Each structure stands twice: as structure tokens, then as C-alpha cells.
Amino acid sequence: MPGTMVVVLGAGASYDCATAADDLMINRTLQPPLVTGLFGFQFQPVLGVYQPVAQAAPELRAIGDSKAFEQVVREQYRDSANTYDRRTFRSMPLYLQHLFWNISWNYTRQADHYEQLVRTLLRRFDEVIFVTLNYDLLLDRVLSELDPIERLGDYVGRVKPWRLIKLHGSVNWGRPMLMDFDPQVEPEDEFLAKTFDRVEEGWFRQLGPIQLLPTAAGRTLRELRYSTFINKPHLVYPSLSVPVGEYGEFSCPPEHLDWLRDRLRALGQANLMMIGYSGADEEVMSLLGEYCEGLQSLCVVDPSEATAMRMMEHLTEGLFNMVPSRDYVETLTFQSFVQTRLSGYLGALPD
């Protein structure tokens, strides 16, 4: 089938990206969490490294709704008048990078549901654009087996049938802190959590361009966070968007975002598939509504019927002046969808 498919992937996709079989699992406790589970008890070994975040975790764990969670992070931490709360917010990207770095390498040996999704779509379409809000490297690793990702331009460049846009950043992206002095790095500070905690607030606004950091499994976080930039050692702060529920909180290279906007505009009528995306932050919706002329096909996949229907109605009635229909919704987990419905759905699309 010629044409282009745009696939939007939320936390629900990585959460269900691998078969829970003993021969595939490395560490089941590292299953990628949904937004409200980012500070779960099972992640205490990582939380304990970042004491400001660990102290905030009980409050954040008690919030069961993703929109309420993002509001608390935004208002009580990022925008707080309290110095300690803002310091906690600055530690959150470090915690999230650490957690999802571990997940990327130590959760599963094979993200087989991502593999099935990628290969099935690439058999049907000339071009597949993956737009993900996930920080992990689980999808990246599947795609890089087809075409290597060796520099930032490879996510959207090269002559290949897929593109990957990571709107909220990636665990292997960072921005050097442009300090006018050499940071004091203590040998016992294994993950540099204490080093970053001592940095004055203003320096977090003095950041260089996004860099693709080495992603070999043997690399340590310390090596990612303290490296050479312009022939000088720098602290490298993660390029990750903490969930705050606001449009424009992107942490991807500007050229990636420009490419996506231009491509959506050029597509006109798009084939759109949304998997495990709640739409709570509105960012993808706003991009689609502003740059996409309309939809040629639509498939919303989520195990929650209420979430899937809300998403479908927002897209059809709110953005694209379409008649809402239950036919656009697949109330299934990601695993069930790729294993039982994906091929049939694609086969029924008009040429």
C-alpha cells in the first residue's frame, strides 16, 4: 500500500511493548511506567539516588489522574516560589534519564510488539513516521537495526522508509551546561546527582545545543553526564520534558520539529494511528490540528474505552470536522492489537 502512516505512541505503547515471557524478560520490575507510575515504589533504587525527587515521590504517587499529576508538577514544583521545590523539579530530568536508561537496557531482551508493529507497517506503506512521547530507547533500538542512528540527523534524514520524532526528548540526548568554570566532580558521586544538585539555578538556563550521546549498553550515566564539548569537560543535562501538561514543552532538536511540521503540511490528508496516548498534554493534538489538513484514516488504540473514545471524538469533532464513529476505536492493549487486529485493519484500508 503506497502512502504515509503517522503513528503516535504514548506511554501505553512502551508499557506493553514486550511479551512477558521468562526467556525475554531481564527485569520485570523495570516495565516502562505510565505517567502516574513514574515514581512507583519499584523504582526506589533509582529514586534513592536523587533525594529531592525521593522526598517528593509520596505526594506524586498519591495522584491517580495524569492531568492532575501534570498540574501538580507544573504548579507546585516547576513554578513554585519555593527554592526547594524548584530544585526538586531540576532533579526530575536526571531521575527520569536514569530510570529510562535502565529500562532501555535492562527490561527486556526483545521489544517484540514494537518489532511486529514496525515490520507490518513498513510492508504496507512507503513511509512511516513514528511520533513518540517516550524517553526510552526500546523503539529506537528496533529501528536502528534496520537503519543505524549515529547522529541526530539520522532520526529524520537519510533515504529510508521510516522517521522517528521524539517530542519529549530521549535518554541519550543531552545539553552541555555552559558554565564559565570547571565543575567539581567527586569520584564517589557515581551518577553526578550531588554534583548537579549543587549547581546554581541560573546555570540550568545556560545550556548548549542538544547532543546525541553514546548509546552503547556498556556506557555509564556518569560518562553521559560529564563529557567533552568544544574541547572542554562539561556537565551534560538531560534533554527530557518533565510531564507538565503544556503545549510547547518539547525537548527534541528544532530541526526535527521543523521536519515534522513541514511533512504534515505536505501530506494533506494523513493516515493516523494513535497507540497508548492519553492526549492529556495536548501537544500532539495541537500539532496535528495546526499542520495537518485532514485525515484519510484514523485508528485509536487504548485498552480504556473511555480514553479511546475521548481521543477519537477530540480528533474527529474537535480538529478535523469528521463524523465521530466507534469504528475508529480499537479497545485493546498494544499487544492484542498488533497480534490480532493490525494486519486486518491495514488490509481493510482503501488503496
* pLDDT the model gives residue 233: 80
pLDDT at site 255: 96
198 and 55 in a common domain: yes
Per-residue pLDDT, 129: 98
- Please say whether the beta carbons of 9 and 139 come within 8 A: yes
Instruction: Report which of 197, 143, 204, 151 is spatially closest to residue 179, judged by C-alpha positions.
Output: 204
Query: Are 156 and 281 found together in one domain?
Result: yes
In a domain, 193, yes or no: yes
Residue at 262 is within a domain? yes
Show which of 216, 240, 264 is a domain's final residue.
240
Same domain, 193 and 333: no
Residue 215: predicted pLDDT: 74
| Distances 221 to 102, 232, 235, 236, 278 between C-alpha atoms, Å | 10, 18, 12, 10, 30
* CA gap 53, 272 in Å, rounded: 37
Task: Say if residue 276 is in the same domain as residue 344.
Answer: yes
At residue 337, the pLDDT reads 97
Q: Are residues 118 and 232 in the same domain?
A: no
| 184 occurs within a structural domain | yes
Together in a domain, 192 and 322: no
Tell me, what CATH number does 298's domain have? 3.40.50.1220
Within this chain, do residues 95 and 177 fall inside the same structural domain, yes or no?
yes
C-alpha cell at 291: 499542520
pLDDT number for residue 217 = 59
Exposure class string for 213-247: b at 16+ Cβ within 10 A, else e: bebeeeeebeebbbbebeeeebbbbbbbbbbbbee
What is the SS3 assignment for 279?
coil
> DSSP of 177-246, one letter per residue?
B--SS-----TT-TTSHHHHHHS-GGGGG-B---EEPP--TT--HHHHHEEEETTEEEEEEEEE------
Q: Does 27 reside within a domain?
A: no
Q: Has residue 298 been placed in a domain? A: yes
Of 225, 240, 255, the domain-final residue: 240
Please check whether residue 28 lies inside any domain of the structure. no
Amino acid at 291: Y
Residue 116 lies in a domain: yes
pLDDT, residue 247, reads 63
Alpha-carbon span 279 to 317, nearest angstrom? 15
264 and 128 part of one domain? yes
Q: Is residue 45 part of a domain?
A: yes
Asked whether residue 340 falls in the same domain as residue 264, the answer is yes
- Amino acid at the residue 270: A
- Which portions of the chain are predicted below pLDDT 70? 1, 216-218, 230, 246-248, 281
Residues 144 and 288 in one domain: yes
Tell me: do 114 and 157 sit in the same domain. yes
Same domain, 151 and 290: yes
> 274 pairs with which residues across the strands?
8, 300
In the chain, the number of structural domains is: 2
Of 193, 208, 240, the residue at which a domain comes to its end is 240
Contact 179, 206 (CB under 8 A): yes
Show the domain range for 183.
Answer: 33-106+170-240
pLDDT for position 230: 67
